[in-house]
A = this chain, B = another copy of it.
Amino acid sequence: MTEREKPQSPKLFGTAGIRGSVRDKVTERLALDLARAMSTMFANEGQVIVGSDYRTTSAELRAALLGGLLGGGIDAFDAGFLPTPVLAFGVPAVGADAGIMVTASHNPPEDNGIKCYSHEGREYVPDEEEVLERLIAARQFTGVAWDRMGTSLQAPDVIDAYVDRLLDRIQPFQRRLKALIDCANGTTYNVTPLILSKMGCEVISLNAQPDGRFPGRPAEPNPANLAAMCHFVRSVKADVGIAHDGDGDRLAVVDEKGRYVNNDTLLAFFARLLLQENGPGRIVTTVDTSSRIDKVADSSGGTVERTRLGKTHVQLIEENRASVRLCCEPWKIIDPAWGFWGDAIYAACRVIQALDESKGTASALFRGIPEYPQERFFFRCPDELKDPVMGEVSHALTAERKVREVSTLDGVRVNFNDDSWILIRKSGTEGKIRVYCEGRSPKKLKELVRKSSSVVRKAIKTAERVNPKAA
C-alpha cells in the first residue's frame, strides 16, 4: 500500500483541535510541521511540554513533535502518557510557554489529534490556531543555527504533582462511598481511581488497563456505550458510577440506581455548585445545551452566555474572563477557579464530594435540577445544499410565534417564551442537518419536533429545486 500525500488543507483545527485519520490527516509530517510552526510563533525560544493519550499512533506523533520543536530551537519536555487535563495543568506547573497534547479524545482508535494549550493551560482559541494554520500553509518556518537547537528536558512527574494538588484542594470524604469508575482504557487509569481511593472511596474500576484499541467499550461515554456499566453499578451496589473518555476530558455520571445522569443536568448541577461557591457570575455554555442551566443559574445569581460548540474557553482569554464561574458543554467542565482547562477528573471528585456532603444518594443529589424532555435527530443533506437549506430554515424559524430570542452563533437557535427551544445546525463533519429540541413538557416537545422537522424538510425540498445538480 503506497502512501500518497494529499495537499494540506489550510483549515486544520476544528471543534476540538486538529483531529482526523492518522492515514490522511494527522500524520507525523503534520506533527513536524505543527511543531515548526509553533517554534516560529515563539521566535525559536522557550519551552513546550508534550504529552499524549495511549492511542497506538500517539507515540510516533509525540516523537515527531519533539523532533520538530527541538529543531526549531524550543526546549521540550516529554511528559509521556497522561490525561489531557493533567497535561494542561502541567503547562503552568512546569512554567512552559505552551503545551501540546496528542489525543483524539473519544474518536475511534484509528483517528488521532492534536490540541494546543497556552502558558496558562487554556486550550488555544481560534485566533491562536489560525496563526499556526497560516504558518503551516505557507511553510514559513524560521529555523535556528546549529548551536541554538532546543534541548530535551526531563519533566518532573506531572501526574504526581496533579494528584497532590487535587488532594490539597478536596478534603477526604466523611462517608465511605463505593464508586465504580470506568476509565475507557484511557489515560485516567492511574489518576481518577487513585485520587478517589485516596479521598476515601471504595473504588471498583472498569476498563482501567490503558489500551489504545479501546477493547472495553467505545471511548465516548454516551448512554449506549455505558449500558453494561450502568447495570454493574447496581449489581455491585455502588453509590455512584463515573465514566470517562480516552483522555479524561469528559465525564459521565451514573446514579446508584444505574441511571445515566442527563448531561445537561450535570452542567446545571455544576452551575449551581460554582455560583454558590464563588458568588454570582457568568456561566458560559454552548448553543446546544438545555434551558435548565439558565433556570438554575438564574436562581443562583448567574447569567448564562452561549458560544459555538467547543469554544466556551474563548471566554477565558485574559480580557474576557472576569467573573466567569463555569465554562461547560455536554461532558466537559471548566472551573476557572481550579484551572482554565476542561477537567473531568476534578469534576468527578467534585460530584462525589457533593454526594458525600449531601448525606443522601446520587439520585437525590440531582433531584433539584429540572428535567426538561429533549430530542436530537438529523436529516441527510448534501454539503452543497447545507447553506441554502440553513438560509431557508433561519427564515422560517425566526418567523415562528412566541419566539423570545434568536441566536445564530452556530446554526439557528430560537428560544420560545416558555423556555422551550429549537436548534438547527449543519454538521461540521458529515452530510447532515442536525436538530435539537427541548420542551417544557413531553407534549410541547412533540410539537417542537413536528414543527422543526417540517421546517427542515421543506427547506431541503426548496433547496433541491433551486440547485437540481447538488441533489
- Residues on A lying within 8 angstroms of B by beta carbon are 1-3, 5, 22-23, 27-29, 31-32, 36, 55-57, 59-71, 94, 109-112, 139-143, 145-157, 160, 183, 185, 189-190, 193-194, 197, 201-213, 215-217, 228, 231-232, 235-236
B residues less than 8 Å from A59 (CB atoms) = 70, 149, 151-152
**Shortest distance from the beta carbon of A92 to any chain B beta carbon, whole Å:** 15
Report yes or no: A215 in contact with B231, Cβ–Cβ below 8 A. Answer: no
Report yes or no: A1 in contact with B143, Cβ–Cβ below 8 A. Answer: yes
Closest to A161 in B: B153
**Shortest distance from the beta carbon of A214 to any chain B beta carbon, whole Å:** 10
Report yes or no: B142 in contact with A3, Cβ–Cβ below 8 A. Answer: yes
Closest to A71 in B: B60
Closest to A179 in B: B215
Report yes or no: A60 in contact with B207, Cβ–Cβ below 8 A. Answer: no
If A207-B208, A235-B235 touch, whether A28 touches B32 (CB-CB below 8 Å) is: yes
Report yes or no: B56 in contact with A146, Cβ–Cβ below 8 A. Answer: yes
B residues less than 8 Å from A153 (CB atoms) = 156-157, 160
B residues less than 8 Å from A111 (CB atoms) = 146
Copies of this protein chain in the complex: 4
Report yes or no: A207 in contact with B205, Cβ–Cβ below 8 A. Answer: yes
Question: Knowing that A23-B143, A28-B67, A110-B147 are A-B contacts, what are 13 other residue pairs whose CB atoms are under 8 Å apart, sorted by A's residue number?
Answer: A23-B146, A32-B64, A60-B68, A66-B67, A153-B156, A153-B157, A193-B209, A197-B215, A205-B205, A205-B208, A205-B209, A206-B206, A232-B235
If A153-B157, A208-B205 touch, whether A142 touches B216 (CB-CB below 8 Å) is: no
B residues less than 8 Å from A209 (CB atoms) = 183, 189-190, 193-194, 203, 205, 208
The answer for the CA separation of A153 and B151 in the assembled complex, in Å, is 22
Report yes or no: A146 in contact with B32, Cβ–Cβ below 8 A. Answer: no
If A67-B64, A146-B109, A147-B109 touch, whether A203 touches B189 (CB-CB below 8 Å) is: no
The answer for the CA separation of A374 and B410 in the assembled complex, in Å, is 69
The answer for the CA separation of A251 and B130 in the assembled complex, in Å, is 53
B residues less than 8 Å from A149 (CB atoms) = 56-57, 59-60
Other-chain contact of A213, B94, B147, B205 (Cβ < 8 Å): B147
Nearest 9 CB-CB pairs, A to B? A63-B67, A64-B67, A60-B70, A156-B156, A208-B208, A208-B209, A60-B71, A154-B157, A110-B146
The answer for the CA separation of A1 and B71 in the assembled complex, in Å, is 14
The answer for the CA separation of A456 and B207 in the assembled complex, in Å, is 48
Report yes or no: A155 in contact with B156, Cβ–Cβ below 8 A. Answer: yes
Closest to A70 in B: B60
B residues less than 8 Å from A2 (CB atoms) = 140-142
**Shortest distance from the beta carbon of A210 to any chain B beta carbon, whole Å:** 7
Report yes or no: A3 in contact with B208, Cβ–Cβ below 8 A. Answer: no
Closest to A232 in B: B232
B residues less than 8 Å from A57 (CB atoms) = 71, 146, 149
Closest to A66 in B: B63
B residues less than 8 Å from A160 (CB atoms) = 151, 153-154
B residues less than 8 Å from A23 (CB atoms) = 143, 146
The answer for the CA separation of A385 and B61 in the assembled complex, in Å, is 47
The answer for the CA separation of A71 and B146 in the assembled complex, in Å, is 27
Report yes or no: B235 in contact with A215, Cβ–Cβ below 8 A. Answer: no
B residues less than 8 Å from A141 (CB atoms) = 2-3
If A57-B71, A206-B206 touch, whether A211 touches B231 (CB-CB below 8 Å) is: no
Report yes or no: B215 in contact with A204, Cβ–Cβ below 8 A. Answer: yes
If A228-B235, A235-B228, A235-B231 touch, whether A28 touches B211 (CB-CB below 8 Å) is: no
Closest to A188 in B: B209
The answer for the CA separation of A149 and B213 in the assembled complex, in Å, is 12
Report yes or no: B194 in contact with A211, Cβ–Cβ below 8 A. Answer: yes
B residues less than 8 Å from A110 (CB atoms) = 145-147
If A60-B150, A147-B109 touch, whether A28 touches B71 (CB-CB below 8 Å) is: yes
**Shortest distance from the beta carbon of A348 to any chain B beta carbon, whole Å:** 14
**Shortest distance from the beta carbon of A69 to any chain B beta carbon, whole Å:** 8
**Shortest distance from the beta carbon of A321 to any chain B beta carbon, whole Å:** 28
**Shortest distance from the beta carbon of A167 to any chain B beta carbon, whole Å:** 12
B residues less than 8 Å from A112 (CB atoms) = 146
B residues less than 8 Å from A208 (CB atoms) = 189, 205, 207-209
The answer for the CA separation of A146 and B205 in the assembled complex, in Å, is 23
The answer for the CA separation of A204 and B211 in the assembled complex, in Å, is 11
Closest to A55 in B: B146
If A154-B160, A235-B231 touch, whether A68 touches B28 (CB-CB below 8 Å) is: yes
